[in-house]
Homo-oligomer: A and B are copies of this chain.
Amino acid sequence: MARTSGSSSQKTGPLVRAAALRLFAQHGFAAVSMRQIAAEVGVQAGALYRYTPDKQGLLFELMKVHMEELLSTWAEVDAGPEPLSRLDSFVRFHILHHLDRADAVFISYMELRNLTAENFAQIEAMRAQYEQVLEDILVACGGEGLGDPKLTTLAVLAMLTGVNTWYREGGRLDREAVVQTYVAMVRRVVGL
């Protein structure tokens, strides 16, 4: 029996998350009210609580889904054993994946302090896991200039994620040009 149109139960949930994602990214978690999110979706504020236990739960789910997707997508993309091509591939993946999810990336960096301690610990663990991915690649590459693997990892990630703060579609450089420039810069940072 096909449910034709009546119930929006399978639509409203995703709409709530999409609206929250956009509004949190634009104005900040604390500055956005449940009423605003509801208005964006086209329902009354009370209806939101069918889809989230509370505002905090909404923020946490957005960040959790983002981090899970980051880790699982890399696992799919990750090609193979050759270290240097893995490094290039990681740089490309990180930049493009982050550019495609600017709102979620922004929230995941800016709103960490608005998570409860328990929720923060979960997100933090996934972030550390992602850092470890790059550190392992860098160690496998083992460039001569690679002094401290931890520091190099953090420096490279900061460099790559920084692209999100200035890149605009239709600007002077397209994505491919940015990726290639960063691939070259990262190689130099690690001394290869």
A residues touching B (Cβ–Cβ < 8 Å)? 26-31, 110, 113-114, 145, 147-148, 151-152, 154-159, 161-163, 165-166, 173, 178, 181-182, 184-185, 188-189, 191
CB pairs A–B below 8 angstroms (12 shown): A28-B30, A28-B113, A30-B30, A31-B114, A110-B110, A151-B173, A154-B163, A154-B165, A155-B159, A155-B185, A157-B162, A188-B191
Cβ A27 vs Cβ B113 within 8 A: yes
Residues of chain B with a CB closer than 8 A to A151's CB: 173, 178, 181-182, 185
Residues on B with beta carbons closer than 8 Å to the beta carbon of A159: 155-156, 158-159, 162
What's the number of copies of this chain in the assembled complex? 2
Q: How far is the CA of A166 from the CA of B157 in the complex (A)?
A: 12
Chain B residues whose C-beta falls within 8 Å of the C-beta of A162 in the assembled complex: 154-155, 157-159, 162
Q: How far is the CB of A181 from chain B (nearest CB, A)?
A: 5
Give 13 new A-B contacts, CB below 8 A, not counting A27-B113, A28-B28, A151-B185: A28-B29, A28-B113, A110-B110, A145-B184, A148-B173, A148-B181, A152-B185, A155-B162, A157-B162, A158-B158, A185-B189, A188-B188, A188-B189
